[in-house]
Amino acid sequence: MAIADRHGLPVIEDAAQAHGARCQGRRVGQFGQIACFSFYPSKNLGAYGEGGALITNDASIAQRARSLRDHAQSEKYLHGEIGYNYRMDSFQGAVLAIKLKHLDEWNTARIDCARHYTESLKDSSYKLPADISDSECVWHCYVIETPQRDRVRAALQDVGIQSAVHYPVPVHLQQAYADLDYQSGDLPVTEALCKHCLSLPIYPELSKEKISRVASVLLDLENR
Residues of the chain with CATH 3.40.640.10: 2-100
User: Under a CB-based contact definition with an 8 Å cutoff, are residues 61 and 82 in contact?
Assistant: no
- What is the architecture, at CATH level 2, of domain 103-222? Alpha-Beta Complex (3.90)
Phi/psi at 78 (5° precision): -115, 120
Separation CA 158–CA 165 (nearest Å): 16
152 falls in which pLDDT band (50, 70, 90)? very high
Q: In this predicted structure, what is the pLDDT of residue 193? A: 97
The answer as to CATH 3.60.15.10 being correct for domain 2-100 is no
Separation CA 19–CA 196 (nearest Å): 26
- This prediction's pTM: 0.91
Position 74 pLDDT exceeds 90: no
Q: In this predicted structure, what is the pLDDT of residue 223? A: 80
Q: Which pLDDT tens digit goes with each residue over 75-108?
A: 889 998 999 999 999 999 999 999 999 999 999 9
Q: Which pLDDT tens digit goes with each residue over 23-64?
A: 999 999 999 999 999 999 999 999 999 999 999 999 999 999
Q: Which pLDDT tens digit goes with each residue over 1-12?
A: 999 999 999 999
Residues 106-112: what's their mean pLDDT?
A: 98
With residues binned 3-state (H G I as helix, E B as strand, rest as coil), the percentages for the chain, rounded to 5, are 40, 15, 45
